[in-house]
Amino acid sequence: MERSDTQLITAALDGDRKALDALIRRHRPWIYNIAFRMVMVHQDAEDVTQEIIVKVLTKLSSYDPERAAFRTWLYRVVANHVINMKRRPRERVFASF
């Protein structure tokens, strides 16, 4: 029987690494698809996906299941991350000094 997102989150916050891994494996393709639609470059979408996974891991305790579904919360994390990323100034590439 497959556990719900809320059950996996609760277990992960209690230190269950397998639950955390299952949660990430369940949502990683979805995160990538959203990131790709927003950046339109596969390599950038992979990088963004990794950054978002780290962000989700560090902010997972702030998720409140009574306010929104996990995917709704996760979508906001993804969208906000990409929007903020696009606002940052890009590194300049210099062909020569």
Q: Kindly report, residue by residue over 63-84, the tens digit of the pLDDT.
A: 999 999 999 999 999 999 999 9
User: What pLDDT score does 23 carry?
Assistant: 98
Report the distance separating Cα 70 and Cα 62, nearest Å: 11
Judge whether residue 91 has pLDDT over 90. Answer: no
